[in-house]
Structure formats: structure tokens, C-alpha cells
Structure 1
Amino acid sequence: MTRTARALWFTAAGECEVRPVALPEPGPDEVLVRTLHTGVSRGTESLVLRGGVPAGQRAVMRAPFQDGDFPWPVKYGYLNVGVVERGPLLGRTVFCLYPHQTHYVVPAAAVTPVPDAVPAGRAVLAGTVETAVNALWDARPLVGDRVAVVGGGMVGCCVAALLARFPGVRLQLVDADPARAAVAAALGVGFASPDEAAGDCDLVVHASASEEGLARSLELLAPEGRVVELSWYGDRPVAVALGESFHSRRLRLVGSQVGVVARPDRTHAERMALALELLADPAFDALITGASRFEDLPSVLPRLASGALPALCHRVDYGAGHVPA
């Protein structure tokens, strides 16, 4: 008998719905996972919801277990924590780069066990912390560096949380929203508005996804300093100020993207396992700023995308009793 699960599909600009999805029987090297929580990656999922993935980047932007093609209809997402109900790792809580869906079957190699020290509800941040780990491998901060993280969204806050562990670093989280000051304090990081941010930085990590944020990032650099660009703008053109003193001060602008592991001596699996280990720090709980039921996601996601419902990571809870039909 074919079993069915329920999944969220992006169906048109600003619209999504829950649809039934057929579940295959797991093979000998596959697992059946019952979802406990997913996380909404607000920036990327908002872009997908509005149909903003450029035609030339649609292959690159595919999520690992995406169904459908951009722009719509598409089943999209990549922050999923669940319990293995059949197959290897039976009974283990695992993280997978899977969309918003009640149950799913994937190769056992596609899931990563969640360490016992990491609550399942916090583990939804693993994909974002993995992005932050890769960014720091690209950035290569040094002891004593003067650093700013411009943009206090999910990615920026995860980068700041990891940088706070570096000894001797002068670190500020820079954001136009004063409400981000409380999050910065919970992470043990200084906070500043863009106008008040300390300059003369050796390194700026930019994650605001705004042209203004990128311009300010370049302004904050000391000579020979570098900006690591984490923002992805989709189909929006962005002007970069490369005149004035950009060349004379020998500034550098470096792109970082999680699709490629930034260290040749590490694999994707090792990077993900490291991200989950780092989530043992309860400070990361400050990044989960809202929660709702899976059944409510079709109405919640458009509000998150529009900004009507503010959030860093919005967690989706699936409940303990749902079973595949």
C-alpha cells in the first residue's frame, strides 16, 4: 500500500499550499524519517516565494531534495529535523536538508545524527550554522582582528556567534534594526547601528542582502581589509562603489557560498557534523524567534516573506502524533 505524507509547495507569487505526497518504501540503505521541526530560511525562501530565482541560477539554487522547478510549483526548503522510524539509525534524531514535509524517505547517508547535547528544536539551525562555518573558512579571521558583521539576520547572527569565540577579536554586529541589539547581547556580541559602527576593520562579513549594507561594509574597512559577501540578491542588480579609494586602499571583496566546501581537506558531511556540534551552545536559542504549526505554514510563510511577521529563524512544529496515511 502506498503511503502519503503532506508537504508544503510554493505555487505562485506569494502563495503556497499543503499537498499530499506519495512516500516510497525505504530500501535497504534508506531511512524513513518523521519530521519533528523544520526551519524557515527567511531570506532564501522569501526569494523563492516571490519567484526571484534568476533563470541562469535555477540549477545552482536547487535544494538537495527539491521537487518541481523554479519558479513554481516547487517544494523547497532545507532545514529539517526528524526521527528515523525505519532503516539504519532507527530511533535517532537526525538533521536533513529536506523541505517542509511530514515524512520523507532519503538515503541514510543524507541524514546527520543530532548530538545528544543539541535539542531537536535548536538543531533546525544546522544548515545556517553550516553556512557560517563555510564563511569563516573563506574569511580566515585571525586572533586580534577587528571585525564587523553587517546584517543581523539568521546568517549574520550565526557568523557573529562563532566569531565571538575567537580570542582578542573586536567584534560588532551591525544592523539598522535596534531590536537586534538584544539578540547580539544574548550571543555575547557588541551591537551598533550602521552610523555608529566602529571602522578600521580588518574583516567585514556582509549578510544584509542590501546595497546600502554592502556600501557600508566597504566603508568600515581598514587599508588591505576584506569584505566577505554572504548575501545573495537573486535577480536584483546591485551597485558596488569601486571608485574613490577602493583601489588605493587595496580593499578586497570576496564571495562565499555554502554549495562549495571552502576547505579542500573537509567534506560536506564533516562540515555538517561540525555545525551540529557547535549548536550545543544554548546561546543559539536566541535566533529562534517564532514558532507555528505545520498546518498554518501556508498563511505564515507569506507573512514572514513580506515582513509582516518579523523573525530570524521561524520554527515549524509538526507534533508527535502525525502518521503517514
Structure 2
Amino acid sequence: MTNFDEFAARTENARALWYTAPGACALLAAKLPVPDGDSVRIRTKASGVSRGTERLVWRGNVPRAEWQRMRAPFQEGDFPFPVKYGYAAAGIVEAGPDEYLGSSVFCLHPHQSVFTVSAGHVVRIPSGIPLERAVLAANMETALNALWDGMPSPGDHICVVGGGVVGLLTAYLAARLPATRVTLVDVNPARRDIAEAFGCDFVLPENLPDDQDLVFHTSATAAGLHSALRAAGDGATVIEMSWYGDEPVPALLGSDFHSRRLVLKSSQVGRIRAERRDRWSFKRRLETAMSLLADPTLDRLISHRIPFDSAPERLPDLFNDPDALATVLTYE
């Protein structure tokens, strides 16, 4: 065990990103817990901004009914504000049990320059996966969980409506099933290159495919949900992955929704499908998601890299940028 005291001077100035008011965030001093024998101290090198969820937090759109369920691991503060929020940190273990020292690890932890957690909360990052790509693990876990909920089969025609990070990762995984044909639908034609690099077709909503065996919806818009229902074949399932916060969402469940026997089903990463819960822990699922990040093609998802020190000034523009995909905060 490395003595934590030798790092005390270096960590006195630890800082974390807080969402402080609607449309505002700030870097505030972070208090580190007293370490115990199982603790690891991690110096963060990169953390990923979950644009969809964190934008809702930044706006104050987390509904009161979800204030407890939406708490991130190691969150401080309470919704709506102020809250220390985030869940995709990658860094190097600089103190802790010998077997962890110097290891590259991932943790579901808010954006913070250095932090201390129990070793049981970290996942080792395999060699060959850069720390910046590793921050996609939380989004990959969401995509993996959605495939479990959708239960695709080899040869299926699968449509993903919404080309954000989670939608693209869902399409990426689905395209690796034998003989599947995966189509990504998005309003932004700039998503075509990434979709094709991932082995998927790409179309704009006006060229929506039909008779799909399975549809995933990730756009977080009513128009996208309408497109997803239109793309589904008779008797098919639409997996709703979007989270809308406290915004009401009209769903067109008239017309032929009932006669075509469509199924609209939710997927949420906070719970594992019932048939798997006895065998799959959250850590096993996260470790599996991390292992799926070995492909360098996934680096295409990182659209912005900004210094942690600049986050309060830069994040508002990125939250409002429709072309933004994964934003990585970088730490010195």
C-alpha cells in the first residue's frame, strides 16, 4: 500500500465540475474522503460528458419524481441544483493497493481532477484502449443493455433512429451480429461517414426504411419516435432509449399502431434485464462494455476535446451544438 500522505499536498486543490443553476456550471474545490485499506486514489486524465443526460441536468429538467433514481454514483448535492454530476472518468491509480498502482482504470464518477474510491468501484482499462476512448464505456454499457432488451437475431433488419453517441454505439453493436442489415436514421447528413465506418447504412428521415424487424429510438424527439414507429414492420418492437426529462412527448399511437400489433418498449441502463440479473452484476456488464471499445474506429465518436479548466465556459456552447458527439474533458 502506497502511503496516501505523500499525495496530500498534490490533492489539496482537487476540483470538480458542478451544475450550479439553470444553464450554469462551475469548478469548485473537492473534498477527498479519508482513505481506507481498500481505497484507490485516481488522478483523472479524461472524463466523458454525456451530452443528452448532462444537458438535462444543466437545464434543470430532471423531473422531481426521478431525483433519487437519477443520482449518479458519487454525486454530491441534490437536484435540481447545485449538483456534482457525471459518470465517465478515466485515469491512473496513484495510490492504493500494490496491485492497482499505476493502472489505467475507469470509474462511474463525476468530473473531478482527482478522487478516492473503493477499489471495487473501478474497472481496469485493457491495454490498447486509450483513456479518451475508455470514457465511452458508460455509453457502450447503455447500448449493450439496449441490445439485451431488444433481443436481435442474426439476419435481422435493424433500424436505429437518432445518430448521437448512444445511437451510433447501438448501431455499431447491432451491425456486428451475423447477416444483420443496420440502418441509421438521422437528420444530420454528417453522420453518414461514421455510420458507414461502423458497417451501417445511413438515410435521412425522408428515406426511412420500412418493415424493419427491430427499431431502436435514441433521438429524444417526438419526430424521431414517430419515425421509429413508421419504420417498424408488423408485429415488430420499438425500443425506446431516449430520456426526455420532464418534457411531455406526444406519441402517435392512433392510425395503424394497434392493427399492426407494434410493441413500444422502454430500455434503461439503471436496471439489467430480469432474465440476466441472477448472473450479471453491474460490474460484469461494465467490464464487458469496456472490452467492446477495442476498435479504433470508435474514436470517430469523439468530436470535441476541451481542457477541464475551460469546462464552465465551453460546455454551454457544446450542449447547444447539434453537431457535437462525444465531448472529452482533458486533465493536465
Per-residue CA deviations over 1:129-184 (Å, capped at 9, x if unaligned) read 00000000000001111110000001000101111101111110100011111111
Please name the residue that 1:25 is paired with. Answer: 34
Per-residue CA deviations over 1:253-293 (Å, capped at 9, x if unaligned) read 01000001122221101100001100001111110111010
**Is structure 2 residue 206 aligned with structure 1 residue 173?**
no
**Is structure 2 residue 198 aligned with structure 1 residue 187?**
yes
Please name the residue that 1:196 is paired with. Answer: 207
**Is structure 2 residue 145 aligned with structure 1 residue 161?**
no
TM-score between both structures, scaled by the size of structure 2: 0.94
Task: Note the C-alpha offset of 1:117.
Answer: 2.3
Residue 157 of structure 1 aligns to a residue whose secondary structure is: helix
Range moving further from structure 2, 19-28 or 160-169: 19-28
Per-residue CA deviations over 1:236-264 (Å, capped at 9, x if unaligned) read 00111111111111110010000011222
Residue 38 of structure 1 aligns to a residue whose secondary structure is: strand
Letter in 2 for 1:38: S
Please name the residue that 1:299 is paired with. Answer: 313
Please name the residue that 2:122 is paired with. Answer: 111
Per-residue CA deviations over 1:284-317 (Å, capped at 9, x if unaligned) read 1110111010000001111111227x31101111
* Structure 2: distance between partners of 1:306 and 1:228: 26
Letter in 2 for 1:51: G
Please name the residue that 1:317 is paired with. Answer: 330
Residue 162 of structure 1 aligns to a residue whose secondary structure is: helix
Per-residue CA deviations over 1:214-251 (Å, capped at 9, x if unaligned) read 01100111111010000000000011111111111111
Task: Note the C-alpha offset of 1:24.
Answer: 2.6
Alignment equivalent of 1:289, drawn from 280, 303, 323: 303
TM-score between both structures, scaled by the size of structure 1: 0.96
Please name the residue that 2:54 is paired with. Answer: 45
* Structure 1: distance between partners of 2:181 and 2:57: 36
Structure 1 consecutive aligned stretches of length 4 or more whose deviation exceeds 6 Å? none
Residue 191 of structure 1 aligns to a residue whose secondary structure is: strand
**Is structure 2 residue 92 aligned with structure 1 residue 83?**
yes
Residue 227 of structure 1 aligns to a residue whose secondary structure is: strand
Alignment equivalent of 1:208, drawn from 219, 226, 238: 219
Ranges in structure 2 where 5+ consecutive residues have no aligned partner: none
Please name the residue that 1:62 is paired with. Answer: 71
* Structure 2: distance between partners of 1:25 and 1:35: 18
2:92, 2:102 within 8 Å by CA — same for their partners in 1?
Answer: yes
Ranges in structure 1 where 5+ consecutive residues have no aligned partner: 320-325
Task: Note the C-alpha offset of 1:187.
Answer: 1.5
1:152, 1:208 within 8 Å by CA — same for their partners in 2?
Answer: yes
Letter in 1 for 2:290: L
